[in-house]
Structures are given as structure tokens and as C-alpha cells.
């Protein structure tokens, strides 16, 4: 039995990526829907992107937000950042800041957005400093010798 037949959400997500690259958005959507139904966070994030762009589905902001929320709850930092962006666009600056702070603590590069909100007076100096420290700690936690070796092997020209 292969991983797709075993309902492995990671395999489903990989299959979606292959179908998406081929331009088969309908199949990509089906695979992500199945994987998201099994709780796969990345699939929720990718479904949000499909609803945002209208790839294989009609653009639907409500469904986009729903899948971003599911991905963010599951710990997806890019989804959290995107929720912050949407909240900011809707005028909910305090909620946007909260999303940006959470994303920064997860290692997302939302620091620039926090700096903008700090300059506008929506983020305190203490909150910004705490977010910067948490962001650095998250980034440092992902550093390892094995990751560096893998990066060099994957991207030989990059040091």
C-alpha cells in the first residue's frame, strides 16, 4: 500500500504540489481538501492561497480566512502573518499586531510589520523588544550543524 492509499496527509500535500505544478488545480484542490480534513496545517495554508488567487476555485475571502485561521491555530507562521495583514487591512490594528507578534515568536519575518506599527504608535517599546527577543530565539532554535550541511548540499553556491 502506498502512502496516498494509506491517507497520509503529508503524501497528499506532496501530490497536490505536483498537480499544482502541472496546472491541474482541480486535482490539487482535491488533495489539499483531503489532507486539510485530516488536520494537515500546510494544506490549510495552501487552500487559503488557492482561494485567495482563485486557482481552481472561485476567489472566496471567507474560505481563505477560514483556512488561514486553521493553519495559524496549527502553528503555521506565514498563515499567522497573513491573518495580521488581513486584520490590518480591515482596520483592526490591535488584532493585526497580536498576529504579527505571534508570527514573530514563531520565527516569521513579521518584524518589519511590527516596526511599522511601532513607528505608528500601535506597539509599545516593551512589546517590540519582547517580540524581537522571541523571534531571535525561534530563529536560533532552528540552527544546527545538520541544517547547515543540508543547506550547503542543497544550495552549493550559497554560504
Per-residue confidence (pLDDT) for residue 11, from 0 to 100: 86
Per-residue confidence (pLDDT) for residue 2, from 0 to 100: 83
Q: Mean per-residue pLDDT for 64-90?
A: 95
Residue 158 confidence (pLDDT) above 80: no
- Outline where the chain has alpha helix (H): 9-21, 25-37, 41-53, 61-73, 77-89, 93-105, 111-119, 125-141, 145-154
- Portion of the chain with pLDDT greater than 90, in percent: 57
pTM reported for the whole predicted model: 0.81
Per-residue confidence (pLDDT) for residue 148, from 0 to 100: 76
Amino acid at each position: 500500500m502506498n502512502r496516498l492509499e494509506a491517507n497520509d496527509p503529508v503524501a497528499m500535500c506532496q501530490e497536490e504540489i505536483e498537480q499544482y505544478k502541472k496546472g491541474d488545480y482541480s486535482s490539487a484542490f482535491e488533495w489539499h481538501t483531503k489532507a486539510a480534513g485530516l488536520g494537515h496545517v500546510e494544506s490549510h495554508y495552501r487552500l487559503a492561497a488557492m482561494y485567495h488567487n482563485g486557482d481552481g476555485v472561485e476567489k472566496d475571502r471567507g474560505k481563505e480566512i477560514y483556512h488561514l485561521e486553521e493553519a495559524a491555530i496549527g502553528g503555521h507562521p506565514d498563515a499567522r502573518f497573513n491573518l495580521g495583514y488581513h486584520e490590518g487591512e480591515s482596520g483592526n490594528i490591535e488584532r493585526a499586531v497580536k498576529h504579527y507578534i505571534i508570527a514573530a515568536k514563531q520565527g516569521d519575518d513579521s518584524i518589519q510589520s511590527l516596526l511599522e506599527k511601532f513607528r505608528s504608535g500601535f506597539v509599545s517599546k516593551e512589546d517590540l523588544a519582547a517580540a524581537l527577543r522571541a523571534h531571535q530565539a525561534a530563529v536560533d532554535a532552528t540552527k544546527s550543524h545538520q541544517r547547515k550541511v543540508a543547506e550547503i548540499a542543497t544550495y552549493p553556491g550559497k554560504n
